């Protein structure tokens, strides 16, 4: 199993590290890609993460899941056409996508939430509604291959749903 994490400066540290280490515990190989030409990204709380490769070099078909942590990073990622295209490809291919907090902002720009049920940080719930998605105020919402969660408080349920979805897709 392989997971791809997309980050940029301002990512929510906990929303990156919790799923990152939870998936590593299960033996999932993780690749981290950053928004700016393979430069290190600094989280909201000062943690620095070195990416493994730049976004343009990624092949979405090599991954079983795309994980998009929240914070300010999704706003920066959605301004990078290669990140938007990558997210769109994952969704169109039916590959698992997991986004938490502000993570769904990238999916909005990719046009990937139309008609989908999703949750997110309350700060962008109106954006979700305006994108023709069905906003649900729940810890975790799964709609097909899309997994969304609201906030840090929902990380245990978010990580559990990711692990369950990966296990189901492996069968």
For residue 116, the surrounding DSSP H or E stretch is none
Q: Per this entry, what is the length of the chain?
A: 171
Catalytic residue among 76, 78, 102, 125: 102
67 φ, ψ (degrees, to nearest 5): -115, 130
What pLDDT does 170 receive? 83
Give the C-alpha separation, 99 to 73, whole Å: 12
Residues of the chain with pLDDT under 70: none
What pLDDT does 147 receive? 98
Give the C-alpha separation, 89 to 152, whole Å: 27
pTM of the model: 0.96
What pLDDT does 118 receive? 96
Is 3.30.230.10 the CATH classification of the domain at 2-170? no
Domain boundaries, the chain: 2-170
**Is-catalytic flag, 102?**
yes
84-120 tens-digit pLDDT: 999 999 999 999 999 999 999 999 999 999 899 999 9
């Amino acid at each position: 199993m392989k997971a791809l994490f997309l980050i940029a400066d301002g990512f929510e540290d906990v929303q990156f590290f919790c799923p990152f280490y939870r998936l590593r515990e299960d033996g999932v190989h993780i690749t981290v890609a950053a928004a700016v030409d393979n430069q290190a990204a600094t989280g909201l709380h000062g943690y620095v993460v070195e990416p493994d490769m730049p976004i343009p070099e990624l092949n979405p078909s090599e991954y079983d899941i795309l994980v998009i942590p929240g914070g300010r990073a999704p706003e920066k990622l959605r301004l990078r056409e290669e990140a938007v295209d990558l997210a769109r490809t994952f969704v169109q291919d039916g590959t698992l996508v997991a986004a938490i907090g502000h993570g769904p902002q990238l999916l909005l720009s990719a046009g990937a939430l139309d008609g989908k049920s999703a949750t997110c940080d309350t700060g962008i719930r109106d954006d979700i509604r305006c994108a023709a998605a069905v906003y649900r105020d729940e810890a975790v919402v799964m709609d097909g291959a899309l997994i969304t969660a609201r906030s840090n408080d929902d990380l245990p349920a978010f990580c559990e749903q990711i692990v369950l979805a990966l296990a189901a897709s492996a069968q």
